[in-house]
Structure 1
């Protein structure tokens, strides 16, 4: 039997999707990303493979999940399997630096950013900033390891006294602090390349803006969440084209708006989680929308009888990748 295979490493975050797929009668199984043996001479079973790896896998003791996922995706791709969120999506979601370069190249406005390779190069990287800035691990989430500094000297004193949280890949992002008149950031959710809804996350209680009810809910500084009705913004069209260009089919992009009304984009999640309280209030269900989309993709795969045929048909439907226009908004 062909089925949907979900690549992940968080049982708590997998459970809501498992339930949604079950309710819709979509045959599925999970592939847990951590440590494994992959016989590269073998052929992967037919089906649709959905990659929803989180950049915080290492915080749950799954330090090798990213490497495991890279091997699997390359193997699946070599056999023409239908993949939702392939290698390009993975790399953008696992590296803030890679994402910011891609966004900037696409004409989407990003905060001023300098990358430091090694914690000992952070002070040098911060020397370019004359206003408050943030230091972030290159790979992460849930606000973990993000620290605000008023100056390079403050950063230098912090490093000399007790240092910063280690970045799992040794890379740090030094980024201007975008000040907004609004007490929230906006997270735009996309499924199948189409906008689902926007989620507003309060910013007054820290950097933990993770909407998941499992794991994130127990953290201090939990923000409030709201799904505005009939949300629209000029940046959404740019996001659609960006996600399509980089083959990200299910994901969430975060942005903040400054005093002048400029939107700054800074993050991408492909393991996208949803907040049950906000969804209930708005009458929406992200997991059900994912299950519906994956069910359609599985039906298309079954009709074609070939992963390669499915990929060709999907590419024809989506159209060829075009050189992006300048879309800074």
Structure 2
């Protein structure tokens, strides 16, 4: 896949022609730490005029401001679809040529408990109608389940942390004599390091189980081995349509929150010690690691996303996470000279052209 430069993409159909121009010079500063209000209206042509368009399914305004601005400046027609307050006709959900899913597994941490279930239902309805969804239902199932992620990665033969899955506190107690400490206790549906705890020994485990809130509401929990990075850093690579945009090293200090979003709150592991995470570009990432990460995303049917792993002192390369809601840091983009949002716009423009060519005169009527 080549770089989508500031050039015109022609979307042609019988008796009509649509020109979309992506101009990187028009893109605003990528200030992901400065939330702006999401567009309240569709960026579409007036009723009666047809143009290929994208529906953006989301729930967190703060992480979408830069993408909305990039799409608007690139001239790509789109409509924000906020699943926090949304309804749709189950059999007539399609309204746009193409959809992009940007719902985060951490939505429940922002009080949006129903966002994940609603997004699952909407994606299923859209795909049942033959609609292409970028980061669709399969990738979203993986995004919202650490268990599913590990099963997929294990099927590809890559190293993953040893893990036990438990349904409640009693199940943990029955496993106590078989567990190797220290270990990590984490929820199946993750997000920003929430509900993740380091457990030092059996006594610590029993003390934690006395806390009624140790299990995230309605979640499976994982008991996972601690994988220690050789240099104290976790590696992450970002992809768009199979192209590796950049790699970075994340060094967390007193936090399990590895979210790259600037301004994302980082809860401390140990009270009284300031939590932080530093992000540095990584130019000499091993090609074989990039190839493994690319294959993970391909198998996950994840068009836009990232993969995290840990390189250990004893030679392990242990893959730990798949991320479908990439948030591109301004400092990393500047350091690598890569505009992630422009790459996303280029990919969406190409996919719009492909989808429009399949049925150029078709109109979709739906309730989204």
| 1:256 aligned onto 2:310 | yes
Please give the per-residue CA displacement for 1:49-83, whole angstroms capped at 9, x wherever unaligned. 11122110001111111111111111111111111
* Structure 1 position 145, deviation (Å): 1.3
Q: Name the stretch that deviates more: 197-206 or 58-67.
A: 197-206
Q: 1:24 to 1:119 in 2, by over 3 A?
A: farther
* Structure 1 position 163, deviation (Å): 4.5
Match of 2:319 among 254, 259, 265: 265
Q: 1:103 to 1:307 in 2, by over 3 A?
A: farther
Larger radius of gyration: 2
Partner of 1:315: none
| 1:111 aligned onto 2:155 | no
* Structure 1 position 205, deviation (Å): 3.2
What aligned pairs does 1:54-203 form with structure 2 within 5 A after superposition?
54-160=104-210, 162-203=211-252
Using the alignment, how far apart are the partners of 2:266 and 2:76 within structure 1? 28
Partner of 2:294: 240
| 1:221 aligned onto 2:270 | no
Q: 1:128 to 1:196 in 2, by over 3 A?
A: farther
Using the alignment, how far apart are the partners of 1:307 and 1:104 within structure 2? 44
Richer in helix (by share): 1
What aligned pairs does 1:17-32 form with structure 2 within 5 A after superposition?
17-32=67-82
Using the alignment, how far apart are the partners of 1:24 and 1:214 within structure 2? 26
Q: 1:112 to 1:72 in 2, by over 3 A?
A: same
Q: 1:125 to 1:191 in 2, by over 3 A?
A: farther
Match of 1:45 among 73, 95, 98: 95
Partner of 2:15: none
Q: Name the stretch that deviates more: 180-189 or 299-308.
A: 299-308
Q: 1:265 to 1:55 in 2, by over 3 A?
A: same
* Structure 1 position 306, deviation (Å): 6.3
Partner of 2:333: 279
The answer on whether the counterparts of 1:81 and 1:307 sit within 8 Å (CA) in structure 2 is no
The answer on whether the counterparts of 2:156 and 2:296 sit within 8 Å (CA) in structure 1 is yes
TM-align CA RMSD: 2.2
Using the alignment, how far apart are the partners of 1:153 and 1:171 within structure 2? 22
Please give the per-residue CA displacement for 1:170-219, whole angstroms capped at 9, x wherever unaligned. 21011000112212101111111222211211123321111112444899
The answer on whether the counterparts of 2:253 and 2:276 sit within 8 Å (CA) in structure 1 is no
The answer on whether the counterparts of 2:246 and 2:336 sit within 8 Å (CA) in structure 1 is no
Q: Name the stretch that deviates more: 184-193 or 283-292.
A: 283-292
Q: Unpaired runs of 5+ in structure 2?
A: 1-50, 269-273, 363-368
| 1:210 aligned onto 2:259 | yes
The answer on whether the counterparts of 1:126 and 1:174 sit within 8 Å (CA) in structure 2 is no
Please give the per-residue CA displacement for 1:261-297, whole angstroms capped at 9, x wherever unaligned. 2111111111111211222233222222112211211
Q: 1:211 to 1:81 in 2, by over 3 A?
A: same
TM-score normalised per structure 2:
0.78
